[in-house]
């Protein structure tokens, strides 16, 4: 665990793994599409400093320090468009956001 940025949200056994790269200050990909009700595992790799991937509505959270890869899960229950972002101080403000599309 990485101190302030805490543990990862639980990952379901059948989750679909989606690889995400985090760097200052963007996510690759900037948009992720999933099906409503689908179990997702975000496989987050940081290319530089500590970053995380957070979706408030689904309590999704995973943090990765430089060069690390960590996994965190969520289930997107409701169709819609949601924001994923990095909670490290100043990162979201610097543009570190992406869009989760649940269809």
Residue whose CB is less far from Cu ion, 12 or 94: 94
- Write the burial class of residue 89 (CB in 10 Å: 0-12 exposed, 13-18 middle, 19+ buried): exposed
Which residues 6+ apart lie within 8 Å of 78 measured at CB?
36, 57, 102
Residue whose CB is less far from Cu ion, 20 or 102: 20
5 binds Cu ion (CB under 5 A): no
Among 20, 55, 62, 86, binds Cu ion (CB under 5 A): 86
Among 88, 98, 100, 102, binds Cu ion (CB under 5 A): 88
Residue whose CB is less far from Cu ion, 44 or 86: 86
Q: Residue 53: which of 26, 90, 81, 15 has the closest Cα?
A: 26
CB 77 to Cu ion: min, Å: 26
Q: How many residues does the chain have?
A: 103
Report the interface residues with Cu ion, using CB under 5 A.
Answer: 51, 86, 88, 91, 96
């Amino acid at each position: 665990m990485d101190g302030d940025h805490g543990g990862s949200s639980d990952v379901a056994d059948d989750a679909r793994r989606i690889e995400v790269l985090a760097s200052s200050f963007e996510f690759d990909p900037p948009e992720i599409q999933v099906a409503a009700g689908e179990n997702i595992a975000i496989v987050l790799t940081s290319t530089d400093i500590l970053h995380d991937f957070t979706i408030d509505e689904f309590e999704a959270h995973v943090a990765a320090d430089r060069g690390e890869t960590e996994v965190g899960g969520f289930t997107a229950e409701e169709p819609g468009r949601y924001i994923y972002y990095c909670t490290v101080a100043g990162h979201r403000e610097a543009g570190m956001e992406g869009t989760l599309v649940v269809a």
